[in-house]
Amino acid sequence: MSRLSLSPLALLPLWLLACDGSGIELGEKPVDSIDDTGPDDSGPDDTDTVDDTDTDDTDDTDVPDDTGPDDTGTKPSFPDYDWLVDCNGGGDFTTIQAAIDAATSGDRIGLAPCEYHERINYISKYLDIFGIEGSAHTVIDGDYGGTVVDVEDAESDGTRLAGVSIEDGYDPAGGSALEVYYASLELEDVVFAGNGESLAVAHLIVGWVDMVDVVFEDNEIIAGGEAILTDGGSFSATRLRADCGAGDYAIWQHNATLLLDNELTCAAGYGLYSYHGELQVKRSRIEGGIAGIYAYDEEDTPSERAYIYNSAIGGGVEGARFEYMSVYIGNSVFWGAEAGLALLANSTGSWMVSNVFLNGACGITSDLAHTASHNAFWGNTANTCGLTSASAVTADPGFASFPEDLSIDASSPLVNAGYPDASWNDLDGSRNDIGLGGGRWAE
């Protein structure tokens, strides 16, 4: 992957819980019948497990630790799986890779709570691998032997990893915890923490990757690196929380990317860096020591597009910078020492409506005319530079606590002050509020 130098923002060389391995008590397969040994069970066709503790004699189909007298307990049974892995010997296999080797595409592999010391490869099979009690209780530990999870052989839709924590990966030239190459992968309830030296914790090259409830924290990322690199294919994330550590990017993106309800932070660099890619961000918070978002296309006719809705974007230098793109921004908040929002050589069809720009030398700076309307400005040396924002509000927005809590109350001058068209109304049907929570993108 080639890295282009950033201009005018120069890149600077800046900066589970594992269970005790005791396993679980399994109850998914009935083991008693006529010789049932449950304390009060005498039904000859009893299908409950031997450790059932309820007091009726009917056929039991509930989970083994249910104590309701009429078998109406609400504790769920374990998710369905075709193979069970338990490092303590209570399943079909003691290692995840052994289960993968034996499985057929389409199989579901359940992982009992344990700390699995291994590195795994999906070996071209689309499999659903999941910790049956979630990421807080199931760890895959790579012991610094290389990348922990490999999905690099054209694995197709249906490939999933869920309910695990991934630790102690190592790859200074690539992904310490995850490598995806020309393959599809879904991640859900996965924590990437404590991984060793790497260029990227998750290295996604021409991958079709979807993340839900995923966390990147406390990983050793080298200068110039990122928590997530996604180059080619597509990437989507819902409720992702990613920190770049000592690296330069929380996400480095060169593809089509959709971010919903994310939290991205990078103290030394950029929360989100987008090179020549399509971008849509909703209801997210993105912060960087230099810029929250830096996105640019090649120096040609602007063709890439960026949509930013109901998001909080802040940076030490600029909140966000877009170059050679078409940009559409609504109901968001931007702040940065030089500019909340910087637009250079972008499509003249770009627009910024119902946003707040704070505490910059310039709230919005641009070298071309753009549509800017019903925005709010506060604490800037100049509200706009190079363009005019119509129907502007210039008053203290009354945030609950800037920048931590950007919510407003009924007394704020931002209430009902946004774009008046009915299609922009708030979810309760009232006129659009400026800033977060306003407009149809609030949920």
The per-residue pLDDT for 345 is 84
Rounded CA separation 424/420 (Å): 7
Segments in 237-301 forming alpha helices (H) = none
Does the pTM of the predicted model rise above 0.85?
no
Owner of token pair 């996965």:
190
DSSP-assigned beta bridge partners for residue 329: 308, 352
In angstroms, the Cα distances linking 175 to 58, 185, 219, 282 are 53, 15, 11, 27
Rounded CA separation 364/371 (Å): 12
Phi, psi of 186 (to 5 degrees): -110, 135
The per-residue pLDDT for 60 is 43
Strands of 277-408 (E only): list them: 278-282, 285-288, 291-296, 304-309, 312-315, 318-323, 325-330, 333-335, 339-344, 351-353, 356-358, 362-366, 371-373, 376-378, 382-385
Contact yes or no for 133/103 (Cβ under 8 A):
no
Number of helical H runs and strand E runs in the chain:
1, 31
Owner of token pair 């209570």:
90
**How many residues in the chain?**
443
Owner of token pair 């990322």:
221
Tell me how crowded residue 40 is: count the other CB atoms within 10 A of its CB: 11
Contact yes or no for 115/141 (Cβ under 8 A):
yes
The per-residue pLDDT for 66 is 40
The per-residue pLDDT for 25 is 30
Phi, psi of 52 (to 5 degrees): -60, 135
Query: What are the residue ranges in the chain where pLDDT is below 70?
Result: 1-79, 300-302
Sorted by where each starts, the structural domains of the chain and their CATH numbers stand as: 36-77 (no CATH), 82-259 (2.160.20.10), 269-443 (no CATH)
